[in-house]
Amino acid sequence: MRKILRWIRNILLWYFAITIGMVIVLRWVPVYFTPLMIIRAVEQKMDGKSIKLEKTWKPLSEISPDLQLAVVCTEDQNFLKHHGFDFGAIQKAIKHNEKSKRKRGASTISQQTAKNVFLWPGRSWIRKGFEVYFTFLIESIWSKERIMEVYLNIAEMGNGIYGAEAASKAYFNTSAAKINKRQAATLAIVLPSPLKYNAKYPSPYLNGRINWTLQQMRFWGGKLDYDKKEKK
């Protein structure tokens, strides 16, 4: 029994050491591949299609501030306030899901980043537990700017398209630094369902959501103030 407990202890110690080390390294090193990218590539190959994987890493300074604001407005309006989890949004989602067949999520940008970088897609409680763990780590070790930078570089934004730079080139024939406010709002709106929605030819429903996002961006004053978060 002691040997088993010692074996379990050693596994846990190695797991914590490796995962914490990974998070520390990725505080500075670009994330070039994610589990989802590999899964999508395998799916394409199994379907008899050629592998499509368009991505270009860009520092946050070369990604439009409008896009940074747009994803906060659409995905996580308390991004600069919370420490990885928006418990108010979680409670609202639970109440909504009890009454509606159309389920609503409450994942923050931090949670989505942790999931995209370190984990596989899915809704199991085991995967959710790992997501909580990695979210805690990146919120403890990374800055909000770094979380946003990684998120906007690895998020799936279309079939085989990952990150703001590749999406900007594919849909608007420009760089992530030069997209306008409406284009930024469009990319933000398709993020929840990038394989379902078309950023290049938005439907009337998407155009309504885009207009709502632009209104929210105006309410925010046009930019995110990361420094304000750091001073708290």
pLDDT, tens digit, 9 for 90 and up, residues 126-179 = 998 999 999 999 999 999 999 999 999 999 999 999 999 999 999 999 999 999
**Which tens digit of pLDDT belongs to each residue from 73-112?**
999 999 999 888 887 766 776 665 656 656 556 689 999 9
At residue 38, does pLDDT exceed 90? yes
> Is residue 180's pLDDT more than 60?
yes
Q: What is the pLDDT of residue 96?
A: 54
Give percent above pLDDT 70 in the chain. 91
Predicted confidence at residue 94, as pLDDT, reads 64
Position 227 confidence tier, pLDDT thresholds 50, 70, 90: confident
How far is the C-alpha of 167 from the C-alpha of 56, rounded, in Å? 10
Q: d(Cα 125, Cα 91) in Å, to the nearest integer?
A: 18
| Rounded-to-integer distance, Cα 2 and Cα 138, Å | 34
Return the SS3 of 55: strand
pLDDT at site 222: 72
Contact yes or no for 158/170 (Cβ under 8 A): yes
Which CATH number is 36-76+83-226 given? Answer: 1.10.3810.10
Q: Is residue 62 pLDDT above 70, yes or no?
A: yes
Taking residues 24-46, what's their average pLDDT?
94
Average pLDDT over the chain reads: 89
H or E segment and range at residue 161: strand 161-162
Segment 33-53 shows an average pLDDT of 92
- Say whether pLDDT at 231 is over 60: no
* One-letter identity of residue 159: N
Query: What gap in Å lies between CA 72 and CA 130, rounded to an integer?
Result: 23
In this prediction, residue 31 carries a pLDDT of 95
Task: Round to whole Å and give the CA distance between 92 and 80.
Answer: 19
User: Whole-structure pTM over 0.85, yes or no?
Assistant: yes
Task: Indicate if the pLDDT at residue 12 is higher than 50.
Answer: yes
Give yes or no for a contact between 157 and 168, defined as CB atoms under 8 angstroms apart: no
The dihedral sign for the CA sequence 203, 50, 151, 84:
positive
